[in-house]
């Protein structure tokens, strides 16, 4: 299925997987609606996207945790941007790596508000239009963390287990419409993810990828573009992808 001229809404487009996915859709000639809180980073991605071949780009400052602002943003889109055809629910983060009984409540709130409630708010604002128009595809970013919980990561893992349940539930609830729903579930991808998790501690973040060739954000973007470009009657329910040196969220082979 050609993606040329299709309106793709990507949350968390300012960094990592979201930025790479924006550029991958740009190369297909899509029209990109990019959202994140850091608009200066979005502007850089937007410029690169136009160079790569995006038909048009519209950037929005958006915090997905704010329900009212998510709904208003979608309701007030310029008419030429209103008919979103592909939604990439990518905005997300981890905070902390602590025993559950020692965890920081603020970290928990931020993960659940972003990864679960934010994803729900965006979905609730965008999918009704897809159903009415009779076309659409939602791609949610899950994780290996959503299918196997690892020590000290219970709340992040729970947020991705919730994503998995929401992905499956949405697919059931749009049955009978042409809307498609896919979860893309990566293992370890080298992005700012670990830097954010450790509140800016670069040394600690670097150790996460030690002795491993991690996935790149482009590897994940590739899978997302593949899933949405299948023929209209094909729904890819879920794709789990890991580095070769990762078997699941607990088991790694690290080179010395
Ligand atoms: P990055 O930190 O590189 O990117 C995260 C993106 O999410 C940023 O663009 C950030 O934008 C955005 N974001 C965070 N909070 C909000 C918010 N409240 N409102 C709007 N945007 C927000 O990490 P990744 O690219 O790695 O993460 C992207 C997704 O992939 C996440 O859902 C993550 O859980 C998932 N994932 C990552 C894996 C990995 O190993 N890296 C593996 C599996 C899944 P800004 O700060 O500008 O708002
Ligand atoms: C991100 C991958 O293993 O760091 O979802 O949780 S992991």
Number of domains in the chain: 1
195 assigned to some structural domain: yes
68 assigned to some structural domain: yes
**Ligand 2 pocket, residues with Cβ under 6 angstroms:** 143-145, 153, 156, 188, 249
255 assigned to some structural domain: no
248 assigned to some structural domain: no
What backbone torsions phi and psi does residue 32 show, to the nearest 5 degrees?
Answer: -110, 125
Ligand closest to 45 (CA) is 1
Q: Which domain holds residue 146?
A: 7-241
**Catalytic: which of 101, 150, 156, 209?**
156
Which residue has its alpha carbon closest to ligand 1 atom 10?
A: 12
In the chain, % of residues over pLDDT 70: 100
User: Is the distance from the beta carbon of residue 114 to the nearest atom of ligand 1 less than 6 Å?
Assistant: yes
What is the model's pLDDT at position 2? Answer: 95
The CATH number for 100's domain is 3.40.50.720
256 assigned to some structural domain: no
- Tally of CB atoms within 10 A around 158: 19
Give the integer Cα–Cα distance in Å for 112 and 116: 5
Which residue has its alpha carbon closest to ligand 2 atom 5?
A: 143
Give the integer Cα–Cα distance in Å for 29 and 163: 29
User: Is the distance from the beta carbon of residue 183 to the nearest atom of ligand 1 less than 6 Å?
Assistant: no
65 assigned to some structural domain: yes
126 assigned to some structural domain: yes
What is the model's pLDDT at position 80? Answer: 98
What is the model's pLDDT at position 167? Answer: 98
What is the model's pLDDT at position 1? Answer: 86
Strand, coil or helix: what is 1? coil
Question: By CB neighbour count within 10 A (0-12 exposed, 13-18 middle, 19+ buried), where does 240 fall?
Answer: middle
β-pair type (56-61, 137-141): unpaired
> 95-100, long-range: CB within 8 Å, 24+ apart, which pairs?
95/156, 95/196, 95/197, 95/199, 96/197, 96/198, 96/199, 97/152, 97/153, 97/197, 97/198, 98/152, 99/151, 99/152, 100/152, 100/154, 100/155
Dump pLDDT digits (tens) for 182-236. 999 999 999 999 999 999 999 999 999 999 999 999 999 999 999 999 999 999 9
138 assigned to some structural domain: yes
What is the model's pLDDT at position 130? Answer: 98
142 CA: nearest ligand 1 atom: 44
**Average of pLDDT values for 66-91?**
98
Dump pLDDT digits (tens) for 116-151. 999 999 999 999 999 999 999 999 999 999 999 999
What is the model's pLDDT at position 11? Answer: 99
Determine whether 156 is an active site residue.
Answer: yes
What is the model's pLDDT at position 84? Answer: 98
């Amino acid at each position: 299925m050609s993606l040329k001229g299709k309106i793709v809404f990507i949350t968390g487009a300012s960094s990592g997987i979201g930025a790479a996915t924006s550029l991958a859709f740009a190369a297909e000639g899509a029209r990109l609606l990019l959202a994140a809180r850091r608009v200066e980073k979005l502007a850089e991605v937007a410029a690169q996207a136009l160079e790569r071949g995006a038909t048009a780009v519209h950037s929005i400052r958006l915090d997905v945790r704010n329900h009212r602002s998510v709904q208003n943003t979608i309701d007030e889109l310029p008419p030429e941007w209103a008919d979103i055809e592909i939604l990439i629910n990518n905005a997300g983060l981890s905070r902390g790596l602590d025993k559950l009984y020692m965890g920081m409540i603020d970290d928990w709130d931020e993960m659940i508000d972003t990864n679960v409630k934010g994803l729900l708010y965006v979905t609730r604002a965008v999918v009704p239009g897809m159903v009415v128009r009779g076309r659409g595809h939602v791609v949610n970013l899950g994780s290996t963390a959503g299918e196997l919980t690892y020590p000290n990561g219970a709340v992040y893992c729970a947020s991705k287990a919730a994503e998995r349940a929401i992905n499956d539930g949405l697919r059931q609830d749009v049955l009978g419409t042409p809307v498609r729903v896919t979860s893309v579930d990566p293992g370890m991808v080298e992005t700012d993810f670990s830097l954010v998790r450790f509140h800016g501690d670069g040394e600690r973040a670097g150790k996460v990828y030690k002795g491993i060739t991690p996935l790149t954000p482009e590897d994940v973007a590739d899978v997302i573009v593949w899933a949405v470009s299948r023929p209209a009657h094909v729904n890819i329910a879920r794709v789990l992808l890991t580095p070769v040196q990762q078997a699941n969220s607990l088991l790694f082979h690290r080179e010395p």
